[in-house]
Structure 1
Amino acid sequence: MIKKGIGTLYGVSVGTGDPELITVKAQRILQETSVIAFPMGVSCKQGLAEKIIANWITPQQKKLPLNFPYLQDKQQLKQAWKEAAERVWEYLHQGINVAFACEGDVSLYSTFSYLAQTIRENHPQVTIQLIPGVCSPMATASVLGIPLTLGSQTLAIIPALYNVAELDQVLGWADVIVLLKVSSVYPQVWKKLEKLNLLDHVLIVERATQPEEKIYRNLTYHPNLNLSYFSLMIIYVRERQ
């Protein structure tokens, strides 16, 4: 009797919202893989990754929504990653490939990284392949129609939800700063930028490349924006060279 090998886990970057931003390789893997995993939406609603890939998968493929709670408690998160890894392993150990659809790019602050790490720790024999894609800083710059950086400009990308306290230090050396997940700390960031007279050097894009996309320029008169989770801020600290 021939024993089946272990399936491959693909981390497939699907971009920031526009389904046409998926790469040709990502599209091929999504269409060739029989099990498609993705983060479950809030309150069991359709999440962003599932929406993006809707045009590229068929009813014959198995959908595997995985629960990744939106919280910061490390123990609860580890438990969620463990449970998600166990559900994926149910297919991998049968020799079935699994493609995990990840919004943005799989290598930039992605949920997939924690899933892959958990699976590697428990099943080091699993082959994991990463498929790169369009990440939010690049998508946001394209929406704004501006270069993210030029010449010798230095760039800092900060997950603001966790590192807003480091902003003062980064403002001292970076020419361009991208703040991810800025919505929950926006009032604090706005006050810092007001003190530094930088509010007219700031741009925000909410839900870049999605139908609900919004753009905010010059935040001088916007101290209390009610932003969604998918909001990104670009701060041009110094003039382009």
Structure 2
Amino acid sequence: MAELVCVGCGPGDPELLTVKAVNAINAADTIMCPASNEDRPSIVLSIVSDIIDKSKNQEIVRLIFPMTKDKDVLEATWKKNAKIMAEKVLSGKNVVYITIGDPYLYSTWIYMHREIKANHPEMKISVVPGIVSIFSFASKIGVSVAEGAEKVSIIPSCYDLTTVKEIARNSESMIFLKDGRYFDQVIQVLKDAGFPDSSIFAIGQDLGTDHEIIRKMTLGEVSDDTLTTKYFSILVVKRA
């Protein structure tokens, strides 16, 4: 019976791929990967390109996930891509779906899995976890994500500043993921929530790639030229 395997491919550095991830990718007949549009390369495919066994001539299928907040468009996209994925498995092909980070942390896989399980409950599905950017970044900057009884909050975007402030009041560590274009908006919010100027403030973008940028300072030292405008970014703020 053919199998669908989702593989978490880590934050960007191919050396952070697990042995299990490499084995699963090279055992597949078809490798499927997300891309934001037809003209842009798949970031996760670039992570695994060097470990793919070229002699196997595996089929590569790009699934397009448009960058939008339109719920109707998103739901239609999930259904369409889940159908493509399921049909390939039902045709007898072992399929691997590769995703950045871990499959169960803000990943397109979550929606694919939900759709496929609802329509094909008999399908054999397994998941290979991956290293997430949070822990890769913590290792690079030498800052603990949490210690003792500290509370950690993960924010996937900074659009709702009122919610960010409420969460910040009750957190020792704040981790903002994905959209660096909005990081500048949270600085005053964090200060208003009681984070002192001496708090650790660290930004990373394009982790694990040749274009990686990491900046670490205190909250009081932040200026416009220390911020980032890249989508794939991470911001860690730890209360002093």
* TM-score, structure 1 normalization: 0.89
Return the letter of the residue paired with 1:222: S
Deviation at 1:215, TM superposition (A): 1.4
Task: Check 1:127–1:216 CA distance in 2 against 1; reply closer, same or farther (3 A cut).
Answer: same
Deviation at 1:190, TM superposition (A): 2.2
Residue in 1 aligned with 2:145? Answer: 148
Residue in 1 aligned with 2:229? Answer: 227
* Pairwise CA RMSD: 1.9
Query: In 1, Cα distance between the equivalents of 2:84 and 2:198?
Result: 48
Task: Check 1:111–1:156 CA distance in 2 against 1; reply closer, same or farther (3 A cut).
Answer: same
Deviation at 1:42, TM superposition (A): 4.2
Task: Check 1:174–1:204 CA distance in 2 against 1; reply closer, same or farther (3 A cut).
Answer: same
Query: In 2, Cα distance between the equivalents of 1:82 and 1:142?
Result: 37
* TM-score, structure 2 normalization: 0.89
Task: Check 1:58–1:165 CA distance in 2 against 1; reply closer, same or farther (3 A cut).
Answer: farther
Map 1:16-95; keep pairs closer than 5 Å: 16-59=11-54, 60-95=57-92
Deviation at 1:93, TM superposition (A): 0.8
Residue in 1 aligned with 2:216? Answer: 217
Query: In 1, Cα distance between the equivalents of 2:40 and 2:164?
Result: 34
Q: Is the 8 A contact 2:36 2:67 kept in 1?
A: no
Query: In 1, Cα distance between the equivalents of 2:74 and 2:175?
Result: 25
Q: Give SS of 1:232's match.
A: strand
Residue in 1 aligned with 2:106? Answer: 109
Q: Give SS of 1:166's match.
A: helix
* Unaligned ranges ≥5, structure 1: none
Return the letter of the residue paired with 2:166: Q
Task: Check 1:208–1:152 CA distance in 2 against 1; reply closer, same or farther (3 A cut).
Answer: same
Q: 1:159 aligns with which of 156, 160, 170?
A: 156
Q: Give SS of 2:79's match.
A: helix
Query: In 2, Cα distance between the equivalents of 1:236 and 1:72?
Result: 29
Query: In 2, Cα distance between the equivalents of 1:161 and 1:66?
Result: 27
Bigger mean CA deviation after superposition, 159-168 or 26-35: 159-168
Q: Give SS of 1:160's match.
A: coil
Residue in 1 aligned with 2:178? Answer: 181
Deviation at 1:96, TM superposition (A): 1.4
Return the letter of the residue paired with 1:171: A
Task: Check 1:117–1:197 CA distance in 2 against 1; reply closer, same or farther (3 A cut).
Answer: closer
Query: In 2, Cα distance between the equivalents of 1:198 and 1:213?
Result: 28
Deviation at 1:10, TM superposition (A): 0.8
Deviation at 1:137, TM superposition (A): 0.6
Q: Is the 8 A contact 2:8 2:103 kept in 1?
A: yes
Q: Is the 8 A contact 1:161 1:181 kept in 2?
A: no
Return the letter of the residue paired with 1:156: S
Bigger mean CA deviation after superposition, 112-121 or 148-157: 148-157
Return the letter of the residue paired with 1:173: N
Task: Check 1:10–1:164 CA distance in 2 against 1; reply closer, same or farther (3 A cut).
Answer: farther
Q: Is the 8 A contact 1:177 1:236 kept in 2?
A: yes
Residue in 2 aligned with 1:8? Answer: 3
